[in-house]
Amino acid sequence: MIILILVKKWVYKFCNLVELCKLNFIDECKNFIYLKAIITRNRREDKVLIALVQKVRSGSVEVDGEIVGSIGKGFVVLVGVCKDDEPSDAIKLAEKVINLRVFEDDSGKMNLSLNDVGGEILAVSQFTLCANTTKGNRPSFADAMNPEDAQKIFTAFVELLKARGIHTETGVFGAKMMVKIHNDGPVTIWLDSKAKRK
């Protein structure tokens, strides 16, 4: 009788343990699926049109020792065109750059836009902004758009700035360039077309 009672208790504990393991396994599976979804979503959302905006007192770009673009007060904008970018991304990013209020007003606060101060833009294409550094120490540029299509979107971005009355100069797309940036502040702001970073 005593043995039977002990066996029942052991079976009961064993069943509870099995049930607990099942619940833990299910929870772990749910967590794994959730994390995988987040990683997948983030990888997809990382593929955006990127603009690294630097407020400058002056900026210029040289190709083969010759200055091909230069500005005074304004922005040097390094532009990275990544896979899946569309012309609509160029429109959104151009508007954001133009209306970015990072120039000081009379009270010394960052409150004025490029138009308010009569600023200029030097736009330089830079596919390395699309780099993926999650694995190893050598960046992968697989997320960068192919040069032919990237140039079309970069050109659209530049033309949108010009259409809004902003004096805009550029480097030479795809060329090896020497960029001189006299950063004022310093003020450097990352913008992207998906508005993940404000």
Q: Catalogue the active-site residues.
A: 126-128
What is the spatial distance between Cα 79 and Cα 62, in angstroms, rounded to a whole number? 17
Report the b/e string of 29-58 with b at 16+ CB within 10 A: eeeeeeeeeeeeeeeeebbbbbbbbbbbeb
DSSP conformational letter for 121: E
**Closest to 121 (Cα-Cα) out of 176, 57, 81, 167:** 167
Polymer length in residues for the chain = 198
Contacts 24+ apart (CB under 8 A), 20-26: none
**Helix residue spans in the chain (DSSP H):** 2-45, 87-99, 114-117, 147-163
Strands 66-71 and 74-80: unpaired
What would the two tokens of residue 12 be?
């009961």
